[in-house]
Amino acid sequence: MISIMSQDLEKQVRMKAQKWLDGNYDEETKKEVRSMLENDPKELTEAFYKDLEFGTGGLRGIMGAGTNRMNIYTVGAATQGLANYLKKNFAGQEIKVAVGHDSRNNSRKFAERVADIFASNGIKVFLFDSLRPTPELSFAIRELGCQSGVVITASHNPKEYNGYKAYWTDGSQVTAPHDKNIIAEVEKITEVDQVRSGEHPENIVLLDESFDERYLEKIHSLALAPEAVKQFHDMKIVYTPLHGAGVRLVPASLKKFGFTNVTVVPEQSVLDGSFPTVVSPNPEERSAMKMALDLAKRIDAELVLATDPDSDRIAIGIRDHDGSYVLLNGNQTCVLLSSYMLAGWKERGKITGKEFIVKTIVTSEMIPLIAESYGVKCYECLTGFKYIAKVIREKEGKEVYIGGGEESFGFLAGDFVRDKDGVSACSLAAEAAAWAKSKGLTLYDWLKQLYVEYGFYKEGLVSVVRKGKEGQEEIQRMMADYRSNPPRTILGSPVVKINDFQSLETIDPASGRRSPIVQDRSNVLQFYTEDGTKVSVRPSGTEPKIKYYFGVKAPLADVADFDRVEKQLDEKIERIKQELKLV
C-alpha cells in the first residue's frame, strides 16, 4: 500500500474521484467513493491513481469503485474503446463478437454490460446464456466468424478479483499492435456518457447448450487411443471444477471420450464466486486440491483432475506405487501431455516432418529434446498463451500444430481453440492414463521413464508479491538492479549466457559480446550457467508479483534412482533460492 502520497498525486487522485461523484454514476458507486474520500485515503489512491491497462491477460483487478478497479464503468470504457476500434478496423463489414464469463462474483453482470454496449454500437453479439469455460469462448470466435470476443474472468486469482480478456479474429487474446491501439481508444473515453448502452437489444443472440456440443465434438476429434479407453473405461477418475465453469463441460467431455467412472467433488461443484472451500481457487496449490485428493484416496481413484474457475488451466494428480498421490507441476503436465500427443501421432502415422509443438521461454527445456526425438520442431515464445497462438497463426498453412503448453498449468492440443484449454487437456490426460495402462504403466511410471531417456529436468517457482503502487515501483527497481548487476555465478557455476528480452539481446558475460534475439519484447531476464542451470526473472503481467523460475537437471541412469536424484535436484533449487535471498 502507499505510505506517502506526493501532493501532485493526491491532487490527481481527488480530482478523479470527484469526477465520479459529479458524473453520471450510480448512487451505490458514489457512496463507495465518498467513503474512501472521507475515511481511507490509501484505498482511494489505490482505486484512482491509475487506469486499468491491458497486460498479458487484458484487464484484471480488484472489484470496486475507481478507475483502477473492475466495475461496470471500467468494463464499459474498455468495451466502448474496443467497439470503436473494431468499427475502425472493419468498416463496411458486419461486425460480430462473442461474450462469455466464469463463475466469479459480478461476472454475469459485467458480461451483460459488455453485450449491451457492443449491441448498442451496432455490433452483433453472441452471448453465452450462462457461464462457460474460457476456451469455449475462443472456439466460438472462430466457429462463428467473429472479429473479436470478450470473456469476463480473473482466472485463478483470489475471490476479490475479476478480469476482462479481449480476443481477436483468430480466437487468441489480443497482441500488438491491437492491444496498444485498443488502449488508445479506451483512453479517449473520458466521460461515462460516451459509453453507449440500452440500444438495439435485438443484436444480442444467446448461445445455449446446443453450441456446447459443437465444441465437444471438436475436442473428441483429438482422441488418439479409443481402444485403450474402451479397455479401461471404468478407470476411477476424480474431478474438481473448484466452483467454476469446468463443471459444465469437463465431465461431459470425459463421458464423450468413453470414461464411465468419473466422480466430481460435490462440495466444489457448487457455482460460487466466493470459492468457499478454498483460500484461493488455484489448482497449482495443493491446499486447493485437498478435497479432490481426499476423495480420490477414499475411493481409490487412479487419476485426479482439476480446472481453475474459467477452466483454461489443468492440474493432474497421479498415484505412486505406495498409493499416495503426486501432484504434477505445470512443467511435468506439459511434458506428459506433449509426450502423449507426440507418441499418439507417431503410432497413428501422422508425423510427416511438417509438425511442430510450442513452449514458452520459462517452460521445461526437456520438451525440445522430446520433440526432436520424434522429428518434430519445437518453437519457443514469450510467456502467455497469446504468444503460443501467435506462433500457430504464423505457421498456419505451412506447418501442422500438434500441441503446446506453458509451466503455469496451461496446455492446448489442436488449433480450433487459440487459448489454453482445460476441457480438452483433462480428456487427453485421462486418455493418456488409459494408454499408459494398456502398456502396463501408470503415468508416474511413464514420466520416470521419460526422465531416464531425456535427462531428469526439475523446475521450481517463487512468486514475490509486491502490491500497490509502491510494490510496482519496487518490482521495476529489482529488474533494473538485475540488469545493472547480474549474478556472475549461481551456486558456484559461472553464468555463461544472459537473455534479456527487453533489449532483445543475448549477452556473453565473459566477452561482453551481444547478439540479437528474434522474439517479441518483454521485461524478462534469463541466466544460464555452465552446469545447465537456468534462472528466469519476470514481473507478472496479470498479478502484483515478480516471478522467479528455476530449472536444474541431472542424468537419471535408472528408474530406481528417481527418488535420490529428485531429492538432489530439489535441494539444489532450494539452495538457489537461498543464494538469491528468496527464502
Print pLDDT tens along the chain (583 aa): 344 457 788 899 999 999 999 999 999 999 999 999 999 999 999 999 988 776 555 788 999 999 999 999 999 999 999 999 999 999 999 999 999 999 999 999 999 999 999 999 999 999 999 999 999 999 999 999 999 999 999 998 899 999 999 999 999 999 888 988 888 898 899 899 999 999 999 999 999 999 999 999 999 999 999 999 999 999 999 999 999 999 999 999 999 999 999 999 999 999 999 999 999 999 999 999 999 999 999 999 999 999 999 999 999 999 998 889 999 999 999 999 999 999 999 999 999 999 999 999 999 999 999 999 999 999 999 998 999 999 999 999 999 999 999 999 999 999 999 999 999 999 999 999 999 999 999 999 999 999 999 999 999 999 999 887 788 889 999 999 999 999 999 999 999 999 999 999 999 999 999 999 999 899 999 999 999 999 999 998 666 799 999 999 999 999 999 999 999 999 999 999 999 999 8
Same domain, 176 and 225: no
Residues 307 and 430 occupy one common structural domain:
yes
Answer yes or no: do 397 and 333 share one domain. Answer: yes
- pLDDT score for 2: 43
Residues 379, 484: one domain?
no
- Compute the distance between CA of residue 218 and CA of residue 135 in angstroms, rounded to an integer: 12
Amino acid identity at 518:
V
| Of 430, 407, 405, nearest in space to 420 by CA | 405
Question: Is 31 within the bounds of a domain?
Answer: no
Residues ≥6 apart with Cβ < 8 Å to 316 = 303, 304, 305, 306, 327, 328, 333, 336, 429, 443
- In three-state secondary structure terms, 44 is helix
For residues 439 and 379, state if they share a domain: yes
Shared-domain flag, residues 235 and 372: yes
User: Range of 69's domain?
Assistant: 50-207
Residues 433, 466 within the same domain: no
CA distance 124 to 137: 15
What cell was used for 142?
472462430
Cite the beta strand spans of 374-483 per DSSP E: 377-381, 400-406, 410-413, 456-465
Look up the CATH number of the domain holding residue 153: 3.40.120.10
155 noted as active-site residue: yes
Last residue of a domain, one of 423, 454, 485: 454
Does 283 lie in the same domain as 186?
Answer: no
* pLDDT the model gives residue 52: 78
23, part of any domain: no
Are the C-beta atoms of 460 and 553 separated by less than 8 Å?
no
Q: Which entry of 103, 155, 339, 536 is annotated as an active-site residue?
A: 155
Q: Which of 431, 454, 477 is the last residue of a domain?
A: 454
pLDDT at residue 572, as a whole number: 98
Query: Pairing state of beta strands 237-240 and 262-264?
Result: parallel
Cα dihedral across residues 376, 141, 96, 214: positive or negative: positive
Q: Provide the pLDDT for residue 575.
A: 98
Of 454, 472, 499, the last residue of a domain is 454
pTM value is 0.94
Domain containing 493 — which CATH number?
A: 3.30.310
Indicate if the alpha-carbon torsion angle 244, 407, 503, 521 is positive or negative. Answer: negative
Look at residue 472 in the predicted model and tell me its pLDDT: 85
Evaluate whether residue 36 is within a structural domain. Answer: no
Q: Are residues 166 and 190 in the same domain?
A: yes
Co-location of 530 and 567 in the same domain? yes
Is 21 a member of any domain? no
Which residues lie below 8 Å from residue 196, measured CB to CB, with a gap of 6+?
A: 80, 83, 117, 120, 121
Is 41 a domain residue?
Answer: no
Residue 40 belongs to some domain of the structure:
no
Q: What is the pLDDT of residue 8?
A: 84
CB 173 within 8 A of CB 151: no
Residues 465, 445 share a domain? no
| Domains: count for the chain | 3
**Would residue 1 count as lying in a domain?**
no
547: which 3 cell numbers? 516471478
> Do residue 165 and residue 314 come from a single domain?
no
The answer as to whether 39 is a domain residue is no
